[in-house]
A and B are shown apart, each in its own frame.
Chain A
């Protein structure tokens, strides 16, 4: 028996960029994260050819899940065409040979920075969210050892205290994104910094959501059909952004989450944040037969 017979031939790069042991570890940690919804699992975040903080956590999970038949979609704050999204999409295609798409309905794997697409995701789809700060307790407890004990004890009083302080100082809850949410009635998580608009989309969703922080080396997950409840006082209702009445100036789409575009005259125009939904709306209005999926929100209201 020679050494050569025991080893694989040299390859310039592993499939999906990460080596097999790295992917094995990430799969193991992802399974653990799915088994304990909302609980942060530490993992050995590897180097990828991208700076920390630019989606390395999400990229590692995507590299682990991808195979040549996976259709990949990458969005950055709802847009398929941002430099970051386009670069990650091209990188994933290059290291895996997987086909890419911008259509939410055709994607098997969606890597996203800070948004959940407006079209409802299916059971067979996986959403990977990039996360900068996975620890919801960090603003109220800088000592991470104590924060972990607080998670173990489900000691989340100070998360409510943060909301109390916001109401006292500003008359309303000011937390626009990263809204602390209780997963499966047990762990409080920071759902990436997705806007408040998107948090209800995670509640009892059919798809699997994996949240990965590359810099902070943590993975957590929301399995399908899991309760995700934003922390709210019993007598102060949860409010999402009031975008229901806004109309996209480019596509005419109405009733979805919008990006505000300030104008030189001091006014603002709005564009639908989910760029692919905007493109579909334009093509549909031009007479093309376009498959627009069911959306989570209808006329600015979350569908029951």
Chain B
């Protein structure tokens, strides 16, 4: 008789529960919950103003929601992260969470060198050896498929696609437990978009980085995500496995989105 297969359970890396946030009369988020397992990519899709970026900024602890909880299953990280003070948030984000913004101006020092932008993240985490900073910045830029001969050029002299690669290198320099991507390919032309997506895919496969990606572009979400969360007017209207959501959308809004894309 064959032995029963051994079952290994995995704990979620990220659990967000009932996250709500209002800006005056505008309810940006209403009871949004999400769970992400290690090595998984969660795609969040929705129209402009649906609250997806607010939710992502909350996960990066840039926003403090009115209600809700957020935990990360990491050593030395305990309790509801929304309750952390500014200093603890800064240190957690500097070492455990990486983010790539839609607008590179938010994530980069445009007049510093590209390698310096990556080194900044290492400096915040306490690295004080110049040679190590240099080596690690080179490695991260290389992993992001950035041309190393331009590693000391300031981002302001680079194209949009290159700027996104510098942001990506900065985000992965410390091998974060969680990588957040806010519309990483928006504003790029289709060929550059494809290159950035390829890099993201490669990174995810090689390093098994847990990612949360926000986009209004269904193609981007479909290419990268294992699971998909559809948001509208601050609420989650549907979530499930990527294939399931795209092939058999249940909610009318998701159907509308999928068909609009097709």
Residues of A that sit less than 8 Å from B by CB: 149, 152-153, 155, 157-158, 160-161, 164-165, 167-169, 233-236
- Contact B133–A164 (Cβ < 8 Å): yes
Q: How far is the CA of A92 from the CA of B115 in the complex (A)?
A: 51
Residues from chain A with a CB closer than 8 A to the CB of B120 are 157-158, 161
| Whole-angstrom distance between the Cβ of A210 and the nearest chain B Cβ | 30
Residues from chain B with a CB closer than 8 A to the CB of A149 are 86
- Contact A157–B115 (Cβ < 8 Å): no
Candidates A153, A155, A169, A233; contact of B130 at CB < 8 Å: A233
Residues of B that sit less than 8 Å from A by CB: 86-87, 90, 109, 112-113, 115-116, 119-120, 123-124, 128-131, 133, 152
Residues from chain A with a CB closer than 8 A to the CB of B115 are 168
- Contact B129–A235 (Cβ < 8 Å): yes
Can you list 19 pairs linking A and B with CB atoms under 8 Å apart? A149-B86, A152-B87, A153-B90, A155-B90, A155-B124, A157-B120, A158-B120, A161-B109, A161-B120, A161-B123, A164-B123, A164-B130, A169-B113, A169-B152, A233-B129, A233-B130, A234-B128, A234-B129, A235-B129
Which secondary structure characterizes the binding site on chain A?
helix
Q: How far is the CA of A100 from the CA of B134 in the complex (A)?
A: 53
Residues from chain B with a CB closer than 8 A to the CB of A168 are 113, 115-116, 152
Residues from chain A with a CB closer than 8 A to the CB of B86 are 149, 153
Residues from chain A with a CB closer than 8 A to the CB of B112 are 161, 165
Q: How far is the CA of A164 from the CA of B133 in the complex (A)?
A: 9
| Whole-angstrom distance between the Cβ of A160 and the nearest chain B Cβ | 5
| Whole-angstrom distance between the Cβ of B81 and the nearest chain A Cβ | 17
| Whole-angstrom distance between the Cβ of A267 and the nearest chain B Cβ | 35
- The residue of chain B having its C-beta at the shortest distance from the C-beta of A159 within the complex is B123
* A161 touching B116 in the complex, CB below 8 Å, given contacts A153-B86, A155-B90: yes
- The residue of chain A having its C-beta at the shortest distance from the C-beta of B126 within the complex is A157
Q: How far is the CA of A165 from the CA of B119 in the complex (A)?
A: 10
Residues from chain A with a CB closer than 8 A to the CB of B116 are 161, 164-165, 168
Candidates B87, B113, B128; contact of A160 at CB < 8 Å: B128
Residues from chain B with a CB closer than 8 A to the CB of A233 are 128-130, 133
Residue among B115, B123, B131 with most chain A CB within 10 A? B123
Residue among B115, B116, B129 with most chain A CB within 10 A? B116
Residues from chain B with a CB closer than 8 A to the CB of A164 are 116, 119, 123, 130, 133
Closest 6 CB pairs of A and B: A157-B123, A157-B124, A233-B130, A234-B129, A160-B123, A161-B120
Residues from chain A with a CB closer than 8 A to the CB of B119 are 161, 164
| Whole-angstrom distance between the Cβ of B11 and the nearest chain A Cβ | 31
- Contact B113–A165 (Cβ < 8 Å): yes
- The residue of chain A having its C-beta at the shortest distance from the C-beta of B115 within the complex is A168
- Contact A167–B90 (Cβ < 8 Å): no
| Whole-angstrom distance between the Cβ of B23 and the nearest chain A Cβ | 21
Q: How far is the CA of A164 from the CA of B131 in the complex (A)?
A: 10
| Whole-angstrom distance between the Cβ of A145 and the nearest chain B Cβ | 13
- The residue of chain A having its C-beta at the shortest distance from the C-beta of B154 within the complex is A165
Candidates B87, B113, B129, B152; contact of A153 at CB < 8 Å: B87
Q: How far is the CA of A233 from the CA of B131 in the complex (A)?
A: 9
| Whole-angstrom distance between the Cβ of A286 and the nearest chain B Cβ | 49
Q: How far is the CA of A6 from the CA of B130 in the complex (A)?
A: 66
Residues from chain B with a CB closer than 8 A to the CB of A158 are 120, 123
- The residue of chain A having its C-beta at the shortest distance from the C-beta of B87 within the complex is A153
Given contacts A168-B115, A234-B130, 8 further A-B contacts (CB under 8 A): A157-B120, A157-B123, A164-B123, A164-B130, A164-B133, A165-B113, A233-B128, A235-B131
Q: How far is the CA of A235 from the CA of B152 in the complex (A)?
A: 20
Q: How far is the CA of A205 from the CA of B87 in the complex (A)?
A: 33
Residues from chain A with a CB closer than 8 A to the CB of B152 are 168-169
| Whole-angstrom distance between the Cβ of B237 and the nearest chain A Cβ | 37
- Contact A236–B87 (Cβ < 8 Å): no
* A236 touching B123 in the complex, CB below 8 Å, given contacts A153-B87, A155-B90: no
- Contact B87–A235 (Cβ < 8 Å): no
Q: How far is the CA of A157 from the CA of B126 in the complex (A)?
A: 8
| Whole-angstrom distance between the Cβ of A261 and the nearest chain B Cβ | 35
- The residue of chain B having its C-beta at the shortest distance from the C-beta of A150 within the complex is B90
Residues from chain A with a CB closer than 8 A to the CB of B133 are 164, 233
- Contact A167–B130 (Cβ < 8 Å): yes
| Whole-angstrom distance between the Cβ of A303 and the nearest chain B Cβ | 27
Q: How far is the CA of A153 from the CA of B86 in the complex (A)?
A: 9
- The residue of chain A having its C-beta at the shortest distance from the C-beta of B113 within the complex is A168
Residues from chain B with a CB closer than 8 A to the CB of A165 are 112-113, 116
Residues from chain A with a CB closer than 8 A to the CB of B124 are 155, 157
Residues from chain A with a CB closer than 8 A to the CB of B87 are 152-153
Q: How far is the CA of A160 from the CA of B116 in the complex (A)?
A: 10
Q: How far is the CA of A234 from the CA of B122 in the complex (A)?
A: 14
| Whole-angstrom distance between the Cβ of A253 and the nearest chain B Cβ | 35
- The residue of chain B having its C-beta at the shortest distance from the C-beta of A233 within the complex is B130
Residues from chain B with a CB closer than 8 A to the CB of A152 are 87
| Whole-angstrom distance between the Cβ of A172 and the nearest chain B Cβ | 11
Q: How far is the CA of A117 from the CA of B13 in the complex (A)?
A: 59
- Contact A236–B90 (Cβ < 8 Å): no
Residues from chain A with a CB closer than 8 A to the CB of B128 are 160, 233-234
